[in-house]
Amino acid sequence: MTKPGVVDNAVYVKGVRVATPPTLEQAYNLRRERDGVAWIGLYRPTDTEIKSVANEFDLHHLMVEDAIAAHQRPKLERYSGTLFTVLRPARYLDDEEEVEFGELHVITGSDFVVTIRHAERPDLGLVRRRLEAHPELLRQGPDAILYSIVDQVVDEYSPVVSGLEIDIDEIEQQLFDGDPAVSQRIYLLMGEAMDFQRAVKPLVGMMDALARDFEIHQVDVELQRNLRDVHDHVIRIVEQVDGFRSLLQNALSVDATLTAQRQSEETRKLTETSLDQGEQMKRVSSWAAILFAPSLIGGIYGMNFTQMPELDFRFGYPMAIAMMLTLAVILYMVFRRKGWL
């Protein structure tokens, strides 16, 4: 992990690094002596370091306050001859399905660049090495450095877009597999897409403003073309992220519909089961009633009381049997007509 403070401190003359001063004060002096460009790279600097830079380059107090406080939205502001750019670099953490955001401030003047990182990303060392390998580009000064930094930040958005795209494709499969965890996953990814959109969308206006600024200050034509290419890249990313939000909102709607359908199907099955149980109860009750009538008659004549006139009746037994059969048949026909049997 990078240690806070000055991470790289260089003075360039005609696109070539001529010194790597160990302190800020030496960088200031060498810049004036060599008539060069100072690029001071700071990582989570102290208030003292920021104020030292502010005093040397006569930075506006609002710019200094923003640099100290951090947590700024992406923006591009000009204070007299100094340009203040805030970028939100990002990377996608696939295991957590989260977009991790950083914050980068770039302060550019006629002969200096101050970069202030408040997170590990982006890798400005890579940007610096790439520029130093192309002195003809670095010779363009602070404008070329700012362009290269913006280009790196925008390039690092591409893996984020790919990560979100893969997860959205997986969600579409989960939706129709009936995975109960898909609702939460959609909701969380929608939040990540919205955060990413807030980091990227302001870049469209920023690129327009920066292009006008380059044109007003008659920056190298080739550099202006390169900036327009970055602008086009930003527009494509914004359109993709807008599409992701629409897809996730649609996925959430589809999930709600499928959930409602599953619940309706379960309710229908429960209703059918309940109706089936009711039919079974009707049959059981009907047969119980049919069997109850003969049992009642048999129970009465089975009590064996002495004073029961029917016991001496010659046709008592056939009559009892006939009554049992008659009642059973009548009840059977009644229940059959009602559809219980």
pLDDT in tens, 169-187: 888 778 777 777 788 888 8
pLDDT reading at 11 higher than 90? yes
Place of tokens 């979100």: 164
Q: Which string of DSSP letters, residue by residue, matches 116-157? A: EESSS-S-HHHHHHHHHT-HHHHTTTHHHHHHHHHHHHHHTH
* Overall average pLDDT of the 230-257 stretch: 86
One-letter amino acid at 303 equals M
pLDDT tens-digit readout, 59-113: 999 988 888 877 888 999 998 889 999 999 999 888 888 889 999 999 999 899 9
pLDDT tens-digit readout, 100-151: 999 999 999 989 999 999 887 788 989 999 999 999 999 999 999 999 999 9
The neighbour count for residue 178, using CB atoms within 10 Å, is 10
Note the pLDDT of residue 313.
65
pLDDT reading at 1 higher than 60? no
Token pair recorded at residue 261: 């359908």
Domain spanning 1-134 has what CATH number?
3.30.460.20
Q: Domain ranges in the chain?
A: 1-134, 277-337
The pTM assigned to this predicted structure is 0.75
* Overall average pLDDT of the 310-328 stretch: 73
Note the pLDDT of residue 136.
92
pLDDT reading at 31 higher than 80? yes
Place of tokens 């494509």: 236
The neighbour count for residue 279, using CB atoms within 10 Å, is 12
